[in-house]
Amino acid sequence: MAILKRIILLTLIIFHFTSAQGQIVLIRHANKDTAYIGEYYSNNLVIRGFENTKFNNFKFIDGPDKLIFKPNDHNVFGIGFNYKFIGFNIGVYAPATGKSFDVYGKTKRLDVQPHMYIHRFVIDLYAQYYHGYYLANANAIRNSTLNDDVEKRPDIDTRNLNLVVQYVFNDKRFSYNAAFYQNERQIKSAGSFIIGGGIYHTDISGDSALTPANLSYANFFNNYRFNACHNTGLGFNGGYAYTLVIKKYFFLTEVITAGADINRVSLSAPGSEVQKTDAGLSLNAKLAAGYNSDNYFVGVTYMRVVTEDHSLAPDSWQEVNTGNFRLTVAKRIRLKKALPLPLPPLPKTDLIKIE
């Protein structure tokens, strides 16, 4: 019960200070090897500008045949900061960076992606609602005369909730924050094994069938014309993370974990529903590259979670891709005097260390 209360407390703190753009709230990491990791918590204000693109695609796969659905993505431009254990971003959408509404349709979305690093634990949450997609390979439809091989599906809604928790074995020498959140710097190359688990849930629905009747594929999903599907999976994962430091300030970071899960899938059409429990696969990838010195950070980051769940037909799968791509330029400002933090008193715990 005491551990549960700590987790709830930390979650409330984190989400209180996390923007809808998904920036981390940083809990102070202790016991770092300073020969490998440089820290900028105590006396540094980190300010940043960024460009961010989020995505949430899904596929229905049956053998060699597939249907690929995508939202009309556009970019976000914004600013943010880190100070001690607080991080915050605010951004605005740039509709002009998206594809044509006439061809690809319009997508409405609420996409929250906080990423939290608490001592040796990495917590990634993807909470997404998207309305409005297009079929990216409309040539799968017989006698299609659609422009650009796409078909607008403004009726499709998706809801995703993915929670991934992982344990970093070598957090004393390998820094997640250096590559992704600018308040640390990887001084020497280092890596770490990672293990963890995740919970994945996806709802997809449309006003009409998600698998149209005029497909050019024979017996796709046993010709079941479902207009809604629901997947819930629980699984484990493991992998490795490594940062290569080049000429002191340049870096390449790769974090790859993969795993298996047990999932419950449900497909439904008006008046009918079929369900199945089966195995699934997951992939969690994070890549970063750039320049990181005591004063400046310039880098690109890419985060992606892929879940592939076995569906009802013998060789059928549902695949969901979610994540983001970001370009960041940041400046660290060394403060002569600490800034006041307008926080209520926090209970003492070994998980929260505030300087």
Q: What is the CA radius of gyration of the chain?
A: 22
Query: Domain range spanning residue 35?
Result: 2-334
> What is the C-alpha separation between 184 and 201, in angstroms, rounded?
33
In a domain, 343, yes or no: no
Closest CA to 341 of 5, 9, 13, 6: 13
**Cβ neighbourhood burial of 177 (10 Å; 0-12, 13-18, 19+):** buried
- Output the domain CATH number for residue 129: 2.40.128
In a domain, 347, yes or no: no
In a domain, 130, yes or no: yes
Question: 10 Å Cβ neighbour count for 110?
Answer: 11
In a domain, 183, yes or no: yes
> What is the C-alpha separation between 47 and 116, in angstroms, rounded?
19
Which 3 state secondary structure label does DSSP give 98? Answer: coil
In a domain, 344, yes or no: no
In a domain, 341, yes or no: no
Could you give the residue ranges of the DSSP H alpha helices within 145-206?
176-180
pLDDT tens series, the chain, 355 aa = 444 344 434 444 444 443 344 444 444 455 788 899 888 767 778 888 999 888 889 999 998 999 999 998 878 888 888 776 666 778 787 766 777 888 888 888 888 888 777 778 888 888 899 999 999 887 787 665 555 578 889 999 999 999 999 999 998 999 988 888 777 889 999 999 999 999 999 999 999 889 887 888 888 888 889 999 999 999 999 999 999 999 999 999 999 999 999 999 999 988 888 888 988 899 999 999 999 998 899 999 999 989 988 888 788 899 999 888 999 999 888 887 766 655 555 444 444 333 3
**Cβ neighbourhood burial of 342 (10 Å; 0-12, 13-18, 19+):** exposed
> What is the C-alpha separation between 45 and 49, in angstroms, rounded?
14
In a domain, 87, yes or no: yes
Q: Which residues contact 109 (CB under 8 A, 6 or more apart)?
A: 54, 56, 71, 128, 129, 130, 131
Closest CA to 195 of 163, 164, 235, 238: 238
E-strand ranges in the chain read 37-39, 44-62, 65-70, 75-83, 86-94, 108-112, 115-118, 121-135, 151-168, 184-186, 190-205, 228-246, 250-269, 272-292, 296-310, 316-334
> What is the C-alpha separation between 295 and 76, in angstroms, rounded?
25
Length of the chain: 355
Domain count, the chain: 1
Q: What is the pTM of this model?
A: 0.80
For 121-136, give one letter per residue: b (16+ CB within 10 A) or e. Answer: bbbbbbbbbbbbbbbb
**Cβ neighbourhood burial of 335 (10 Å; 0-12, 13-18, 19+):** exposed
